[in-house]
Amino acid sequence: MRINVLQHTPNEGPGMIQEWSQDHGHEMYIYHPYQFGNLPTADETDMLIILGGPMSPNDDLTWIKQERVLIQQLIEAHKPIFGACYGAQQIAKTLGYAIKTAPHKEVGWAPVYLKSDIIPNIPEKLTALHWHEEMFEVPEQADLLFSSDLVKNQGFVMNGNVIGLQFHFEPTADNVREIAVNDDQYPLDHNDLHQNGKEIIQHGVPAENKRVMYQLLEFIANN
């Protein structure tokens, strides 16, 4: 399977998604449309991963609009799509739903709660990395998958093969350090989780996050 990844900033890579791809013998291609403007075609994509980034789907940039054309083509072709943070917002925006400022800015580690039993064997409560101040509206054709204490719309699942998460399960410990040291000012400004970069790094990545990340990818890959 060819997994095409859309990466949107140097310090937010595929992390455990890449590990899953390697463990299953898939081929991964990582695109950087914000820098080079290149995107894969729908025909050469077996699974699409849309990672986070500092931009908004509401930004008037050509490559952001082109991403949504690709997402729409893949939805129509019933190919698996996973979006994290900005990536989840892009999926919702493609389907015609609003991206707006969240009621709370969440930066750091905080629990998320399972809201759907569509995907089996997911724990009722998990601790995820949050790094956002915008949120998506959950598409009508999707099911709410996760909520947090501060923001209801934290994840959705649609058609059995599309998942969008407002937070991050994919970072490894190295990835968390990379995010925090390079974007160290972001947690300090009006952060409702009241964590700084040092605290975020020291928290560590919960061991169960890798298992759940793998489960989500296997779910969309097999439907």
Alpha helices in the chain (DSSP H): 16-23, 33-36, 62-76, 86-94, 173-182, 197-203, 208-221
The residues spanned by each domain of the chain are 2-221
Quick count: other Cβ atoms within 10 Å of Cβ 124? 8
- CATH 3.40.50.880 is the classification of domain 2-221: yes
Of the candidates 186, 51, 163, 52, the one whose C-alpha atom is nearest the C-alpha of residue 108 is 186
Q: Which residues pair with 168 in a beta bridge?
A: 129
User: Which of the residues in the chain have pLDDT under 50?
Assistant: none
- For position 223, what pLDDT does the model report? 87
